[in-house]
Structure 1
Amino acid sequence: MKVKNIMTKSDFKLKENNTFYEASQLFNNNEVEVIPILDKKDILVGVITKSDIIKNFINGTSPDTYVKYLLRGTTNIINEDSKISDCIDKVESYMAVTNSDGKFVGNFSVNDIYKHRFANSLEEINDLKQRLNCNNECGIVKLNCIELDAVIEASFDGIYITDGKANTLKINKSYENITGLQRKNMIARNMYELEKEGYISKSSTLMVLKNRKSNTIEQEFSTGKKVLVSSNPIFDDEGNINMVVTNVRDITELYELQDQLAKNMKLTEKYYSEIEAMRIQYLNLTDVIAKDKTMLDLLEVAKRVANVDTTVLILGETGVGKEEIAKFIYKNSMRRDKNFIKINCGAIPQNLIESELFGYVKGAFTGANKEGKMGLFEVADGGTVFLDEIGELPLDIQVKLLNVLQEGKVERVGAVKPVKIDIRVLAATNRKLEEMIKNKTFRADLYYRLAVVPLIVPSLRDRREDILPLIQHFLSKLNNKYNFEKTFTIEALSTLYNYKFPGNVRELKNIVERVIVMSYGNKIFKSDLPIELSQSIIGKVIECEEICNLKEAVEKVEAKLISMAFDDAGNVRDAAKKLGINSTTFFRKRKRYLEMGML
């Protein structure tokens, strides 16, 4: 029997220039244990197994690494014309099979041998039984037929034949090899005597003669081999047992394979547990939802940079989750047990920003606290400062921030002596700082000091594989919060998946919350989605169908416009410009409407 007769054909394959990430996805999405690696001419150059994927993941292999650097070489490759009997000892858990041209044709494993041997066992027994029952000129009990002798002697399994009175008629060479017993000591002897003298511990033949039906038992001989003994009666025309044919199959190897399989299953469970633990540790925050490769790559870089105190500049459109990336870095850093101070540079009025960031000494200016005040940088000493909307910082404050980054010192307003601090700075903005440098609204030296490691958070439309997991995440949280059992229909999910989301994750979260709160039933349909209703909203807000209190109407319109402008711009300064007011007024009005519950 050759390998090609029992191998498993497979269509899964990888090229040398496929990445570690692509290989991982192929294993994850399909029930396959080994995948061949082919060169440009489709010649098999090696294989990669699921165990290899797990080990490389644990070792921190980059997702962009080519699989040609990870393959095992030729140790797991076998030729399709190899005889199974010649390669049993060489077969590892999983092998790739090639033809004479070196091209991949299928997979081969110890399980294939296991299945094959068991499948053939009963077939050989039944075949021999039919041959012995033939009514030709040889007669029923004449065993000197040349053809029959050759069949019995050539059998891979041991064969033991007795007459209806348990006298031994025929034993083949395989029986001797398996049991360690010699046929010259057993031929013509009765099975009762052989069992009594201890040649065998128990006789399946005697059980058949007693019960008049087929019988199968397991035995272990002095050779250390475990065997499966199957005895079958052969009846004459009058219903008497004429012969008992016993098939002895060596299953020692099958037991070893079962043990190895059990060990492999335990090892696989261990690996999967380790991967799950690593995945939880890798994300570390329940609000970081990442399935898309682009986002996973970003998180990998963020995880690496988290372990050092390098300044990080997080860039991306409004609503993409820059703050969550900053928290992710903080949670995975050596400073995770210290303070995490978030400072929204666009939300602090310009006349207060210096004192808020750097603090002041007593008597520094009119209205100052008599005891002075510690700035936010000093509060964060030993921890991490996250400067959100860094592009909103005035130029004079940028100079002082640069000094903090370079010297590790802050100087309070009105002070003559700086204070030494130890902080890590993370910054984020949705503005194009390079253009601001050209327009002289942002300092180039500060930009280069901040952008030691720039991380660009992709927009939601550029990582669509995250859309459905995010929807499920928000849906689950809101269902738990409001004790709902709401779900999205396929059509609604498809609509959301194909939507461009100019507001990114923030917009997606708001849409999900809106439809969950506003929908009537537990099913959320496409018609429930507010996506197509956003174009003329300002006109609808301003329309008034009946006379109402003018002051209240103006406040409603103002609150709505402030909310829309902020959602669109993502920061106070740009939102204020859209409405034609200064940022301090915008901040004050927005704070007022938030306190009134109108936003």
Structure 2
Amino acid sequence: MKVMDVMIKGNFTLKEDNTFYDAARLFSNNKIQVIPIIDEKKFLINVISKNDIIENIVQGTSPNILLKFLSLDKENIISEDLRIDDYMNNYINAKESYKAVKNAEGKFVGVFSVRDMFKHEFASEVEKISELKKRLESGNNSGGVLLNCTELDAVIESSFDGIYVTDGKANTLKINKSYEYITGLKRKDMMNRNMYELQKEGFISRSSTLMVVENKKSNTIEQEFSTGKKVLVSSNPIFDEKNNLTMVVTNVRDITELYELEEQIAKNMKLTEKYYSEISAMRSEYLNLLDIIAVDKTMIDLLEVAKRVAKVETTVLILGETGTGKEVVAKFIHKNSLREDKNFIRINCGAIPHNLIESELFGYVKGAFTGANNQGKIGLFEVADGGTIFLDEIGELPLDIQVKLLNVLEEGEVVRVGSLKSIKIDVRVLAATNRNLEKMTREKSFRADLYYRLSVVPLTVPPLRERREDIVPLVQDFLAKLNMKYNFEKTFTVEALNALYNYDWPGNVRELKNIVERVVVMSSNNQILKSDLPIKNFQDLLEKNNDHDEIGNLKHEVEKVEAKLIMNAFNNAGNVRDAAKLIGINSSTFFRKRKMYLEKKML
């Protein structure tokens, strides 16, 4: 018997360009366990299960991510020509008890479940035994050598499943050793006894045989015996030529391991649901104070650390490339601190002229310098007293101001320009830079003592290319605000979103926001196409590298382009599997080629 004999027809399918949200909604609205993913020609290319949905929710997968970018288990696809016996040998080790089925052409044809397989097999076993008995009674030998009673007994006794046979009045005629092993009951206690008595005396809790005797129809029930075995019991009637019930043959199969597998899956689902609830609560708790879009686990982990740091008075140094959102993280720390109701003062250290920065930070007294205000001026540190001061672009501070800033951090007081009197202040300092301060300390362009004083707790905001799950949610958030601001109804096509997802984003979130605003404002249609985007993807590297007139060795030139593609993909994805997916090759090929180019020192 093959899979095609017991599979059921599937009513639901998805395509690669459907979103994770589409899949989750389909599972939520229908009682299904797996959904096949097909291409335009209905070829089965992948399958998503209910467990995949839960795992991705726990990992914080964006609802808008396309199914083609999810890591799914292709082992949940089987062929309709697969023999049931071959599957039975391995099903306990399978991750899912439901599979999507493909035909020889690779097209989706149905869904296969372990339980349906068992029920079908039980019916088949009983049918064979019934046919065997009819042949014995009628003497029909068309199927081969006629079995005598001794041979029939041997067949029944050797069956892996338990077999229990009664006459038409439920008197026990035959019990095999497998039935004894599975149920823990003894043949000697049950032979020649009526099933009504055995049920009344508690040998079994309910009898499938008696159900058949009463309604004259096949019946299947689930039972658990004192041995701890859980079984599927299938009873079938046998009639004579006058349609009188002459025998009931019952097949008992041990499905304990299947139940244990299902229970383990159920426990895992409950556990993942618990984790999902905790993560959702944590995400809500982190993000309800600020307009932060954070879906990617990398960003969520950063916010978790920032939340813990916010509750203490430690100085925090926020690092990261330009445009990653360092100021947003600084505001997040302030809003989650005990100073949340006090001032948050941001100072861009790179935007203030060097000759004015001291007076801006620390203030000055009357007559401190030519052009000074007659009443003097309070400095920004004093304005921030009791609250938080955020020193953005701290790496741009002149060395002489760095000395005075160190004094403020160490002593908790400022001295205005032109004054000898110090003023006590209570300020929490957060600093940020996109520069390598450690390198600057070695080059003597940044004071080492100030660096160590600032970096008590360093936090690094990951670039957008390292938290790609945030890209589509950020796009949707920027788009919603722009649509509301300008009364637009614009949307991005799937191809445009894919292009945005795959782009390198050297300018990070700031660049993403600017590009979204540009295409929303400039596009003439409500649908924003991929061609509307002023960005280039990895495919453009090939054109760029071939845009020259030099003549060289073809193999070497191709290798240079391939090496560059592999290097960029790996740098962006951070791992072999995702990098291989970015450039459309399998992970083993990617690993082999990357190793080769590393050995050639081309990477």
* TM-score category, normalised to shorter length: 0.5 to 0.7
Quick check: 1:287 aligned with 2:292?
yes
Name the counterpart of 1:476.
480
Equivalent residues in 2 for 1:320-339 (5 A)?
A: 320-331=324-335, 338-339=342-343
Give CA-to-partner distance per residue, 1:393-441, whole Å, 9 cap, x none. Answer: 4565444223212322212345433123333322334567799889998
What SS does the aligned partner of 2:510 have?
helix
- The partner residue of 2:219 within 193, 215, 220 is 215
Preserved CA contact (<8 Å) 1:159 1:172: yes
Residue matched to 2:277: 273
Tell whether 2:413 aligns with 1:409.
yes
Q: Which has the larger radius of gyration?
A: 1
1:177 to 1:302, Cα distance in 2 relative to 1, 3 A:
closer
d(CA) in 1 for partners of 2:515 and 2:201?
86
* In structure 1, distance between residues paired with 2:268 and 2:443: 64
Paired position in structure 2 for 1:107: none
Number of the residue aligned with 1:39: none
Counterpart CA distance in 2 for 1:113 and 1:205 is: 24
Matched, 1:162 2:166: yes
Which residue of structure 1 lines up, in the alignment, with residue 245 of structure 2? 241
Cα drift, residue 341 of structure 1: 1.7
Is 1:231 the counterpart of 2:235 in the alignment? yes
Instruction: State whether residues 479 and 486 of structure 1, in contact with CA within 8 Å, keep that contact through their aligned partners in structure 2.
Output: yes
d(CA) in 1 for partners of 2:504, 2:188: 86
Match of 1:122 in 2: 123
Work out the CA distance in 1 between the residues paired with 2:222 and 2:488.
Answer: 59
**Match among 148, 151, 162 for residue 147 of structure 1:** 151
Residues 292 and 466, structure 1, Cα contact 8 Å, conserved in 2: no
SS of the residue corresponding to residue 164 of structure 2 reads: strand
- Name the residue aligned to 2:45: none
Q: Which residue of 1 aligns with 2:345?
A: 341
Q: Is the contact made by 1:288 and 1:324 (CA closer than 8 Å) also made in structure 2?
A: no
Structure 1 503/147 Cα, relative in aligned 2: closer, same or farther at 3 Å?
Answer: same
The one-letter amino acid of 1:412's match is R
Say whether residues 1:519 and 2:519 are aligned partners: no
Number of the residue aligned with 1:420? 424
| Aligned 8 A contact 2:296 2:468 in 1 | no
Aligned partner of 2:379 in structure 1 is 375
Matched residue of 2:432: which SS? strand
Q: CA deviation at 1:203?
A: 5.0
What 5-or-longer segments of structure 1 have no aligned partner?
A: 1-30, 33-48, 59-84, 96-110, 533-599
After superposition, the Cα gap between the structure-2 partners of 1:209 and 1:446, relative to the gap in structure 1 and judged at 3 Å, is closer
Q: Is the 8 A contact 1:216 1:229 kept in 2?
A: yes
- Tell me the equivalent position of 1:12: none
Whole-angstrom CA distance in 2 between matches of 1:165 and 1:308? 81
1:441-456 matches, cutoff 5 A:
446=450, 449-450=453-454
SS across alignment from 1:485: coil
Aligned residue number for residue 131 of structure 1: 132
Kindly provide the amino acid, as one letter, of the partner of residue 122 in structure 2.
S
Is the CA contact 2:413–2:424 (under 8 Å) kept in the aligned structure 1?
Answer: yes
Contact 1:320 1:460 (8 Å CA) reproduced:
yes
- Give CA-to-partner distance per residue, 1:295-331, whole Å, 9 cap, x none: 7787687677667655444455543433224334445
Q: Which runs of 5+ in 2 are unaligned?
A: 1-32, 35-50, 61-87, 97-111, 537-603
Q: CA deviation at 1:250?
A: 5.6
Q: Counterparts of 2:437 and 2:200 in 1: how far apart (Å)?
A: 96
Give the C-alpha shift of residue 239 in structure 1.
3.2
Partner residue of 1:63?
none
Secondary structure, counterpart of 2:426 in structure 1? coil
Equivalent pairs counted in the alignment come to 438
Once residues 367 and 123 of structure 1 are traced to their aligned partners in structure 2, the CA distance between those partners, rounded to angstroms, is 100
What is the SS of the residue equivalent to 2:135?
coil
- Once the 2 structures are TM-superposed, how far is the Cα of residue 170 of structure 1 from its aligned partner? 1.9
Inter-partner Cα distance in structure 1 for 2:225 and 2:450:
83
Corresponding residue of 2:21: none
Instruction: Return the offset for 1:475.
Output: 1.9
The separation in 1 between residues aligned to 2:528 and 2:521, in whole angstroms, is 11
Cα distance in 2, alignment partners of residues 158 and 480 from structure 1: 69
Flag the 1:221–1:526 CA change in 2: closer, same or farther, 3 A.
Answer: closer
One of 320, 323, 331 as aligned partner of 1:319: 323
Could you tell me whether the CA contact under 8 Å between 2:364 and 2:416 is conserved in 1? yes
The one-letter amino acid paired with 2:154 is A
Q: For the residues of structure 2 that align with 1:401 and 1:226, how far apart are their CA atoms?
A: 74
* SS of the residue 1:381 aligns to: coil
CA contact (8 A) 1:138 1:145 kept: no
* Shift in Å, 1:387: 1.4
TM-score, with structure 1 as normaliser: 0.56
